[in-house]
């Protein structure tokens, strides 16, 4: 078992008692989990007071609406950019309205593929997209002033990533080290996740120009971690620890601490397995309960957007098993979550992608207050 195994065992044990919303909020009951692995350490308990940077779900406002299968939020200064998976559009959010910055050429939406993750660095927008038989990462110049942003010159910085109707991964984000990280799903080929020569089922680390960093864990390889099924969330804590959320298959969805060169088990393991040489998650739950996508860290709390299960989960980093759920069934499926420059938590609903039940005005960006 890796050094995360003990943390995972504790988290699994306490997860039997958590993943429910506070009593003041209407919630649905989570699915039952089996008995946790035995542990000689005491079970962590829920904190006596809300975790730092806790949500105030009743303090909410609609930032934008009438989005079409939105997937990712990124900020260029104080201006939000949003990707639409099926239309290929990048939208600028301004004063409760949106305008089109541009349409990414070559996007071919199919199943879970299309225009997926966004990331901004300096004067450039990075996009993760599905184009026929491949996923790729492109970089565009961002030109113009806020309120009139446009896409300039385009450059493909990484192509040939595996693509399929599902398991495309798609999240991209710059880490505190200045490197670009990308989640790549197994594209329906589970064995690729254990093959370090394949980029499927991996978290990748690359320079802003698409090159292999000299300090990557495997020589001349973009692979940062492997053994993933369909990771879709990336976020860093203040101490530099990288977290990732991952869709499981039939048994467990996962929240993982990502270490360079680590193997996260898929398809040989799913959830906490205690197998030598494979990293266990710090938290797991049934896929029917809360299938995860984007994540964001605010202070000591990780916020986890969930599609199936239609909720926003708040995970205290010092006690992951004390997680609580918010907005259960209130706004539908939640694809992404981000900390806005305003100091609010923004969530991106995802009810118009063919798997949700759209309501008038869907899809939306909703801002939530913090205390």
Distance separating alpha carbons of residues 63 and 259, to the nearest angstrom: 36
269-296 residue pLDDT tens: 999 999 999 999 999 999 989 999 999 9
In the predicted model, what is the mean pLDDT of the chain?
88
51-76 residue pLDDT tens: 446 899 889 999 999 999 999 999 99
Grade residue 117 by pLDDT with cuts at 50, 70 and 90: very high
Phi, psi of 320 (to 5 degrees): -55, -30
Provide the whole-model pTM. 0.87
Whether pLDDT at 355 is above 50? yes
Please tell me the predicted confidence (pLDDT) of residue 53. 66
Place of tokens 């105030």: 56
Cα three-residue angle 48-345-56, rounded to 5 degrees: 40
Phi, psi of 15 (to 5 degrees): -65, -20
């Amino acid at each position: 078992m890796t050094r995360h195994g003990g943390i995972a065992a504790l988290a699994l044990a306490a997860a039997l008692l958590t993943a429910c919303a506070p009593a003041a909020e209407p919630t649905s009951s989570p699915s039952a989990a089996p008995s946790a692995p035995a542990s000689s350490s005491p079970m962590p308990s829920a904190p006596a007071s809300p975790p730092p940077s806790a949500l105030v779900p009743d303090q909410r406002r609609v930032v934008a609406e009438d989005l079409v299968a939105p997937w990712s939020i990124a900020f260029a200064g104080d201006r939000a950019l949003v990707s639409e998976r099926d239309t290929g559009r990048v939208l600028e959010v301004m004063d409760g309205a949106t305008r089109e910055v541009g349409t990414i050429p070559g996007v071919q939406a199919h199943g879970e593929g299309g225009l997926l993750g966004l990331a901004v660095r300096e004067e450039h927008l990075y996009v993760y997209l599905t184009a026929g038989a491949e996923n790729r990462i492109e970089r565009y110049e961002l030109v113009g002033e806020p309120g009139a942003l446009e896409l300039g010159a385009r450059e493909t910085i990484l192509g040939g990533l595996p693509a399929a109707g599902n398991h495309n991964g798609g999240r991209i984000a710059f880490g505190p080290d200045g490197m670009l990280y990308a989640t790549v799903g197994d594209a329906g080929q589970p064995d690729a996740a254990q093959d370090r020569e394949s980029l499927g089922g991996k978290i990748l680390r690359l320079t802003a120009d698409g090159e292999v960093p000299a300090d990557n864990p495997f020589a001349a390889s973009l692979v940062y971690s492997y053994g993933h099924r369909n990771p879709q969330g990336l976020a860093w804590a203040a101490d530099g620890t990288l977290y990732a959320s991952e869709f499981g298959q039939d048994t467990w969805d996962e929240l993982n601490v990502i270490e360079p060169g680590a193997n996260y088990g898929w398809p040989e393991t799913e959830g906490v397995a205690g197998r030598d040489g494979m990293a266990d998650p710090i938290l797991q739950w049934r896929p029917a309960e809360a299938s995860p996508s984007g994540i964001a860290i605010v202070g000591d709390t990780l916020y986890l957007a969930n599609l199936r299960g239609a909720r926003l989960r708040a995970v205290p980093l010092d006690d992951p098993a004390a997680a609580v759920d918010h907005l259960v069934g209130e706004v539908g499926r939640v694809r992404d979550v981000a900390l806005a420059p305003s100091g609010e938590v923004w969530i991106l609903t995802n009810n118009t992608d063919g798997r949700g039940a759209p309501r008038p005005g869907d899809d939306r960006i909703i801002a939530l207050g913090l205390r």
